[in-house]
Structure 1
Amino acid sequence: MFHRTYLHHDPIAISYLFGCAGQGQAAVIDPVLPPQHYLDEAAALGVTITYVIDTHLHADHLSTARDLAHRSGAAYVLHRSAQTAFPFHPVDDGEVLTLGNVTVQALHTPGHTPEHLTLLVTDHRRAEEPWLAFTGHTLMVGDLGRTELASDPEEGARALYRTAKRLKGLPDHLQIYPGAFSGSVCGRTLSGNPSSTIGFERRYNTALAITDEEAFVAMMLQDIPPRPVDFEVTRALNSGYATVSAS
């Protein structure tokens, strides 16, 4: 299995290219850069992009996922609950996507947004259990994602509490690769380290450590970071309900 991480600073985000080099199949997670970047990277590795996956419909930046999927011939993947003006490849909780010797299990992890996905990745050449999770803006290094950009803040916080309990049940050794790092408006106390493990976050992530739902909701509704500029328009653009002006 190969795995490439791309850190972006304008906007602050992380995208990924990974897959099975032996079988020549790859997926891209949360693309931000122009599609040609990922196409060039895939070509250099001798792989074909089979899936382009957005962990959620972003409100802080424009996704290039649909354009990349169109140009690569890949399926554009979202959770089935995503509300869009365009067709996509829907996945349900527990569904598995195959990339040669690598499999990707979709977990529905709402809270940051209602349709949010976490993706558990297994390299079957190494073991028959996942070794990493792409967690998007749900579980990040040092914090959990804000909950009011796509839903009622309290409703989102209660969904995120249930999601956090589920993620805490994953094995300690599981590596996590989130969709943002320090400087992103999608969290409060994000680390500049772009990866971690479930065990480390369970021990040192203050938000993840809260075990009482009411205390968790109260925490999530305090000290909410400033909202991204035009976040509603950005999410509408990523959902296909708005178009970029030619001017």
Structure 2
Amino acid sequence: MKIEQIYTGCLAQGAYYIESNGEVAIIDPLRETQQYIDKATNENAKIKYIFETHFHADFVSGHLDLAKKTGATIIFGPGAKTDYEAYIAKDNEVFNLGNITIKVLHTPGHTLESSTFLLIDKNGKDHAIFSGDTLFLGDVGRPDLAIKSDLTKEDLAGMLYDSLRNKIMPLADDVIVYPAHGAGSACGKNLSKETVGVLGEQKATNYALRADMTKEEFIKEVLDGILPPPQYFAKNAMMNKSGYTNFDTVLEKGDVALTPGEFESIANHEGALVLDVRTEQEFVKAHIPNSIFIGIHGGFAPWVGALITDLQQPILLVVPEGREQETVTRLSRVGYDNTLGYLKGGIEAWKNAGKDIESIESISAEELADRFKKFSIEILDVRKDGEYKSEHLEGDNVHHFALDYINDNMKNINPKKTYHLYCAGGYRSVIAASILKARGFDVIDIAGGFAALKKTNLPKTNYVCPTTL
């Protein structure tokens, strides 16, 4: 028996490759499926099953493409309804895989069809659970994503409480826990940076598994502090239910080198968004007018999903040489399948063609401190709510303007004013600056972010009732 976790840091997501006696099961595969096929081929094994723990909201799964390429059966838990062929398992149904078995434990709460897959070894011993978003290390899945007119988040939280206590907690302490996500995922609140654990440790340390916890206490605690889900979550879940374009087709369409002239023509005629994925330092120095920065080196896919509201938006790329296919792939992981190509030769080719470029003023923390003392300047803190509450600059003109909700809050800022932007280290503030600049705002970025500002003598404060935009 072989179990391999295939972890993708950008999405904080774990897919799983399980092989026994020449037969393979893949759990929660990513969009690009060739990696799983290659692994099976190298093991001289055949992919038999594709298990989906639930309809994922934070990424588009590769189950459809993988099934078409291998003939494997797609398996969902009870109650799942799809627009394509899939096997809907019964609670406690068992599937044979080589010398082992995989048992379906229906664990609704995160979503109604959510299921945990229990791996039983060749000796009949419970070996591991693949818990999807039902149980994370340090947390459980948020129960607010499958709300219907007759079902509230409190109802789902109650279901999750029952699932954990009736299906998960009775299992032995030495059962290994393989969750779908780790720290950084928006599918929970307090996920551990660890990606594999054991159930006994979770029973002892995970707040949601306290033995003396009542259902009412659980509902209150699991819902406390949950932020609204990113706008792309519901759209990705629908793609996972209904289907999507073949990944190879998406890659073929997007991995196209364009001359500056071709690039500009497509941008104008297709209404394409120019997405610049280089470093923030490179973008600040020179970029194509009206382009948006989201660096490939950061939390790229989740930020794209949070900020670009239309999954069908035509996209053109400015990308570091050699990372073209990677960028198209990472866009497709969150459902952005309409990439039309990339600028061949990058920004230098654009300059050499005599095309216009723009820049963003970037100043040091020390320069901001000097301006802060001499002038009345407007400052936007674009970090998350928890970061802002922990510590931020103090002043009447310091406003919390979280990047996550920038599209909702644009009406609250004045296009006649100049805004100085900072985040924690500089990545998110340049994203925000690029969006504001493309919409006609005058912006100045603070290099180094709050980490650099903390070293100045600017007034800082812990949580006070904030001026939130």
**TM above 0.5:** yes
Counterpart of 2:232 in structure 1 is 230
| Runs of 4+ deviating beyond 3 Å | 241-247
The CA distance in 2 between the partners of 1:168 and 1:225, in whole Å, is 27
CA contact (8 A) 1:119 1:134 kept: yes
Q: How does 1:64-213 map to 2 (within 5 A)?
A: 64-124=62-122, 127-151=123-147, 152-166=152-166, 167-209=168-210, 211-213=213-215
| Structure 1 residues 177-208: Cα deviation after superposition (integer angstroms, max 9, x where no partner) | 00000101111111111011111000000122
Deviations 1:50-77 (A, max 9, x none): 0001100001111111111111110001
Q: Give a deviation string over 1:205-235, Cα, whole Å, max 9, x none.
A: 0122162011111112210034133111111
Question: Is the contact between residue 112 and residue 148 of structure 1 (CA under 8 Å) also seen in structure 2?
Answer: yes
* 8 Å contact from structure 1 (residues 108, 118) kept in 2: yes
Alpha carbons 2:139, 2:207 under 8 Å: kept: yes
Query: Is the strand fraction higher in 1 or 2?
Result: 1
How high is the TM-score relative to the length of structure 2?
0.50
Residue 19 of structure 1 deviates from its aligned partner by: 2.1
The one-letter code sitting in structure 2 at the alignment partner of 1:106 is V
Q: Aligned partners of 2:205 and 2:44: how far apart in 1?
A: 39
Tell me the distance in 1 between the aligned counterparts of 2:8 and 2:244. Answer: 24
Query: More deviation in 107-116 or 145-154?
Result: 145-154
Runs of 5+ unmatched residues, structure 2: 246-310, 313-336, 339-469
Gapped regions of structure 1 (runs ≥ 5): none
CA contact (8 A) 1:59 1:228 kept: no
Provide the alpha-carbon RMSD of the alignment.
1.5
Which residue of the partner structure matches residue 318 of structure 2? none
Q: Does the Cα contact within 8 Å between 1:236 and 1:242 map onto a contact in 2?
A: no
After superposition, what is the alpha-carbon deviation per residue over 1:73-111, rounded to whole angstroms, capped at 9, x for unaligned?
A: 100010130122222011111100011101000000001
1:242 is displaced (CA, Å) by 7.2
Amino acid at match of 1:188: K
Secondary structure of 1:144 counterpart: coil
> Following the alignment from structure 2 to structure 1, what is the Cα–Cα distance between the partners of residues 222 and 144?
10
Q: Which residue matches 1:30? A: 28
Shift of 1:123: 1.7
| Larger RCO (alpha carbons 8 Å, 6+ apart) | 1
Q: In 2, distance between residues paired with 1:170 and 1:233?
A: 35
Q: State how far apart, in whole Å, the 2-side matches of 1:8 and 1:33 are.
A: 12
Aligned equivalents of 2:114, 2:232: Cα separation in 1:
20
Q: What TM-score, normalized to structure 1?
A: 0.94
The aligned amino acid for 1:5 is: Q
- Structure 2 SS opposite 1:50: strand
Name which one, 1 or 2, has greater alpha-carbon Rg: 2
**CA distance in structure 2 between the partners assigned to 1:225 and 1:60 by the alignment:** 14
Separation of aligned partners in 2, 1:102 and 1:15: 19
Distance across 2 between alignment mates of 1:10 and 1:27? 24
Shift of 1:241: 6.8
Are the aligned partners of 1:118 and 1:133 in contact in 2 as well (CA < 8 Å)? yes
Q: Which moved more, 1:82-91 or 1:37-46?
A: 82-91
- For the residues of structure 1 that align with 2:232 and 2:155, how far apart are their CA atoms? 22
Counterpart contact for 2:64–2:243, Cα < 8 Å: no
Contact 2:100 2:120 in 1 (8 A): yes
| Cα pair 2:78 2:106 within 8 Å, conserved | no
Report the equivalent of 2:51: 53
